[in-house]
Amino acid sequence: MNAPPVSRPASGRRPSLTRQLLLWSLGALAIVWGSFVFIGYQTGVHEADELTDGHLASVAALLLNLRATEAMEGPQRTERTPTPWLKSHDYQQTISVVQWDAQGRVLSITGSVPEPPFSDAEGFADLTLGPDKVAWRSFSQWDAGRTRKIMVMLELRERDELADDIAGQLIEPGLWLLPVVSLALGLALWRGLRPLYALSADVAALDPTSAQRLASRHAWSEFESVVASINTLLDRQQVAMVRERRLANEVAHELRTPLSSIALQASALAGELTEEARAQALARIGQDALRAGHVLNQLLALARASRAELHEAKAPVDLSALARSVCADYAQAAWKRGDDLGLSAPTALTVPGHAVLLDIAVRNLVENALKHTPEGTQIAVQLGSADAGGAWLQVCDDGARQQAGGAPGRAAAVPVDSLHLGHEILRRVADIHGGHFGAAPAPAPFTTCYRLDLPSPSAPAAG
């Protein structure tokens, strides 16, 4: 059954790293900028308050030293001369002054302030005066002899306007600067990510079927591991593709022979044949069908090996128990051929691996020994522990000696897959387990031996 296609988002909906970086950068910039604006506004208000209070205190000290009311009799109110042209200056303020004698009699009032109540207290104060309840900021002070008191006043509205003006002057450059910095930041990010765009374009242009590799122009330190990993994957893919193409060609060749023979024999059956020729044709069709079926079974085993590599986790496997089970399954087939199938293994031999794949490997070794040797062959399945903590399994036979001896009644078995698909399966299983498979020196009295070595659990996987 074909796997369902993996759904991929449309290119227009795919998230952009550039947009993500720009949004995060602008977000961080906006937060920092907003913090500076808030702090700047608070600083402007604070400085305006200090400036106003200092101005009130300075005017009070100046007027106390001038003693301008000593020649006046009775309270005097002096309205401020209208000077509308001065309002264009942001820091020009309307100051009102009230003076009392020691008994609390008003000596003079300058400005538009209503007459405030007299008090002995000195210093800054916030007052609400007049029928309109206007808020005023005041500073009052006695002279050295406490014979005269002066109060300098300013509407809080003017002070707040001054504070807003100062704070606005501090904020305004930031308002103009933010879009400029955002534009410059976007251009800088785009320019800085150009190597990533180039790497992405080169990766997209790679042809997996060719021997092409990523160029060395992506020699940025941040890209070293990525480029090396991609090139390593490409190399492994090339090796795998070469191996798969070779395997596909061999399988096609191996299947072509029995299928062609089946078609030829089937055509012959359509003609006039003797009973003996018809029986031989049917027998040949049966043999060729079994041969093609065996090749297909080997292909299915290869597919299971690949699937197990991707989806199954390694687990402890008792290799001795597995080998005993396989030998028991093939004991009947060995007895029918007159073979001697033996097992030499410790009571328990546990290795980490895929039980399904190891079972396939042992069965292939035993099956190959049964099908590629003449009848009456002595076959031995041997297991043991390696010095480094791993394990090994080998299947040996004396088929070559039986073939050379030519014992009567012992016909050589016809090879089922001359291209060693079974060995290809064993190599795949060995690669998955980080081990090695190949021919091994045959101990006496055997002539052929194939061995599967499995590493210890702590040993690094090969490849």
Same-domain pairing of 333 and 424: yes
Same-domain pairing of 29 and 66: yes
More confident residue, 257 or 378: 378
The answer to whether 94 and 155 have CB atoms below 8 angstroms apart is yes
pLDDT tens digit string along 196-206?
878 777 777 77
Summarize the confidence of residues 281-285 as an average pLDDT: 81
Summarize the confidence of residues 122-146 as an average pLDDT: 85
Asked whether residue 92 carries a pLDDT value surpassing 60, the answer given is no
pLDDT at 158: 80
pLDDT at 245: 75
pLDDT at 402: 67
Q: Hey, what are 214's tokens? A: 């990523």
Asked whether residue 217 carries a pLDDT value surpassing 50, the answer given is yes
What's the domain range around 50?
A: 20-179
Same-domain pairing of 131 and 269: no
Burial class (CB in 10 A: 0-12, 13-18, 19+), 136: buried
Among candidate residues 255, 281, 311, the one where a domain is terminated: 311
The answer to whether 82 and 66 have CB atoms below 8 angstroms apart is no
Same-domain pairing of 390 and 421: yes
Please give the model's pTM, rounded to 2 decimal places. 0.47
Asked whether residue 459 carries a pLDDT value surpassing 70, the answer given is no
User: Strands 76-78 and 106-110, how do they pair?
Assistant: parallel
Q: Hey, what are 122's tokens? A: 């000195």
More confident residue, 322 or 293: 322
DSSP annotation of 421: H
Same-domain pairing of 121 and 226: no
Summarize the confidence of residues 432-444 as an average pLDDT: 89
pLDDT at 344: 92
The number of CA neighbours under 13 Å toward the Cβ of 172 is: 6
- Per cent of the chain over pLDDT 90 is 11
DSSP annotation of 54: H
CATH code, domain carrying 325: 3.30.565.10
DSSP per-residue codes, 125-181: EEEEETTTTEEEEEEEEE-TTSSEEEEEEEEHHHHHHHHHHHHHHHHHHHHHHHHHH
CATH code, domain carrying 69: 3.30.450
SS3 431: helix
pLDDT category of residue 81 using cuts at 50, 70 and 90: low
* Pairwise CA distance, residues 304 & 360, whole Å: 9
Q: Helix 224-269 and helix 275-311: axis angle, to 10°?
A: 160
SS3 11: coil
pLDDT at 85: 54
Asked whether residue 432 carries a pLDDT value surpassing 60, the answer given is yes
Residue 249 in domain: yes
pLDDT at 68: 56
Residue in the block written with tokens 């007895």: 335
DSSP annotation of 114: P
H or E segment to which residue 279 belongs: helix 275-311
Same-domain pairing of 356 and 407: yes
More confident residue, 394 or 83: 394
Residue 187 in domain: no
pLDDT at 240: 73
* Backbone torsions φ then ψ of 104, nearest 5 degrees: 90, 15
Asked whether residue 144 carries a pLDDT value surpassing 50, the answer given is yes
Residue in the block written with tokens 């055997």: 446
pLDDT at 419: 43
Same-domain pairing of 55 and 128: yes
Same-domain pairing of 276 and 346: no
Residue 430 in domain: yes
More confident residue, 296 or 362: 362
Q: Which residues, 6+ apart, have CB-to-CB distance to 96 below 8 Å?
A: 80, 109, 110, 111, 112, 113, 136, 152, 153, 154
Q: Hey, what are 185's tokens? A: 């930041």
CATH code, domain carrying 270: 1.10.287
Same-domain pairing of 34 and 144: yes
Distance of alpha carbon 132 from the chain centroid: 68
pLDDT category of residue 408 using cuts at 50, 70 and 90: very low
pLDDT at 319: 92
User: Strands 148-155 and 340-344, how do they pair?
Assistant: unpaired
More confident residue, 343 or 45: 343
Asked whether residue 462 carries a pLDDT value surpassing 60, the answer given is no
Residue in the block written with tokens 């538009």: 112
Summarize the confidence of residues 124-145 as an average pLDDT: 85
The answer to whether 292 and 258 have CB atoms below 8 angstroms apart is yes
User: Strands 391-397 and 378-385, how do they pair?
Assistant: antiparallel
* Pairwise CA distance, residues 297 & 80, whole Å: 111
pLDDT at 457: 65
Summarize the confidence of residues 390-404 as an average pLDDT: 83
Residue 137 in domain: yes
More confident residue, 325 or 8: 325
SS3 454: strand
Indicate the number of domains in the chain.
3
The number of CA neighbours under 13 Å toward the Cβ of 114 is: 11
More confident residue, 140 or 94: 140
Dihedral over alpha carbons 366, 369, 370, 374 (to 10 degrees): -170
Among the residue ranges 95-99, 172-176, 341-345, 447-451, the one predicted with the least confidence is 172-176
* Pairwise CA distance, residues 356 & 317, whole Å: 10
Among candidate residues 130, 160, 179, the one where a domain is terminated: 179
Residue 431 in domain: yes
Residue 189 in domain: no
Asked whether residue 463 carries a pLDDT value surpassing 60, the answer given is no
Asked whether residue 299 carries a pLDDT value surpassing 80, the answer given is no
Same-domain pairing of 305 and 363: no
Summarize the confidence of residues 49-64 as an average pLDDT: 82
* Pairwise CA distance, residues 369 & 398, whole Å: 10
Q: What is the mean pLDDT of the chain?
A: 77
Residue 185 in domain: no
Summarize the confidence of residues 241-249 as an average pLDDT: 73
Cis peptide before 75 (omega within 30 of 0): no
SS3 221: helix
Asked whether residue 415 carries a pLDDT value surpassing 70, the answer given is no
- Per cent of the chain over pLDDT 70 is 79
Same-domain pairing of 294 and 235: yes
pLDDT tens digit string along 314-329?
788 999 999 999 999 9
Residue 46 in domain: yes
Same-domain pairing of 91 and 155: yes
pLDDT at 11: 47
Among candidate residues 144, 179, 214, the one where a domain is terminated: 179
Summarize the confidence of residues 280-287 as an average pLDDT: 81
